[in-house]
Structure 1
Amino acid sequence: MAVIQQGVHDSLFSLIAAAETAKETWEILQVEFQGDSQVQSVKLQGLRRAFENLSMEEDENVGDYFSRVMNNVGQQRSYGEELSGQKIVERILKSLSPIFDYVIPSIKVTFDLSQVTPVKLMGLLQSQEERINTRSTLDKAKKITER
């Protein structure tokens, strides 16, 4: 209990000062930061909805999009939600920007999605993104030289 008390800010200490056990102290802090089970349920519903509504912006790069997705996943997991890697991968594939429309079928055919981790998918998509960007740059340079 002393370790917990030493680790909290002075403003939180007053909340836990009357607690008699480490478990009681921890439960007070848990309710303070996560809310009770009803509040947690409402927050989790909002996170689930946000997860289902995620979509990659036209000008967003793969790394930034994955950060947004994994941030949501991390928050859901902190509330006890179990999200499989396959569910995350499938959600990402459904929500990519249209520039990846030709890549998605080849990923689905080539790989068993139950075996693809979000990190592996990010690597695959980043390599395609680099290829798209390189081609776009070359096309722009070619148009400039043709003038």
Structure 2
Amino acid sequence: MTKKYQGSARVKRAQLQALRKDFETLQMKKLESVTDYFGRVMGTANKMRIHGDKLDDVTIIKKILRSMALKFDYVVCSIEESNNIDEMLIDELQSSLLVHEQRLN
């Protein structure tokens, strides 16, 4: 392995580590829309995948559900109880949360 390759691999690992930390600490802001929050989560998740992370959709869905604003607590409980999270699609989750957001507004 050349030093240049080792250096770029080290930089890539450091970037991925920073992205993982960003992903773990993401929380929906009190006045943030579902669309904006999904955009932030998916933006970070896609960067992680570009850097070689094997992040799956179930992990993203679980992250979103546990980091929603408090006003969505009852919706999150309902979604978790009535769906198989392991088989759910990100688009399905987003659609469901958007419907509830529209009702809240």
- TM (normalized to structure 1)? 0.66
Unaligned runs of 5+ in 1: 1-27, 134-147
The 5 A counterparts of 1:28-47 are 36-47=8-19
Bigger relative CO (Cα 8 Å, ≥ 6 apart):
2
**1:73 pairs with one of 45, 56, 64:** 45
Give the structure 2 partner of residue 131 of structure 1: 103
Amino acid at match of 2:30: E
Name segments (4+ residues, structure 1) moved above 6 Å: none
- Give the alignment's Cα RMSD to 1 decimal: 1.4
Amino acid at match of 1:113: I
Give the structure 1 partner of residue 35 of structure 2: 63
- TM (normalized to structure 2)? 0.92
DSSP-derived class of the 1:114 partner: helix
> Identity over aligned residues, as a percent?
36
State the shift of 1:117 in Å.
Answer: 1.4
Larger Rg: 1
**1:90 pairs with one of 50, 55, 62:** 62
Deviations 1:90-130 (A, max 9, x none): 00001000000111111011000011111110000000000
Determine whether 1:52 maps to 2:52: no
Q: Distance in 2 between matches of 1:109 and 1:96?
A: 16
Determine whether 1:110 maps to 2:74: no
Unaligned runs of 5+ in 2: none
DSSP-derived class of the 1:36 partner: helix
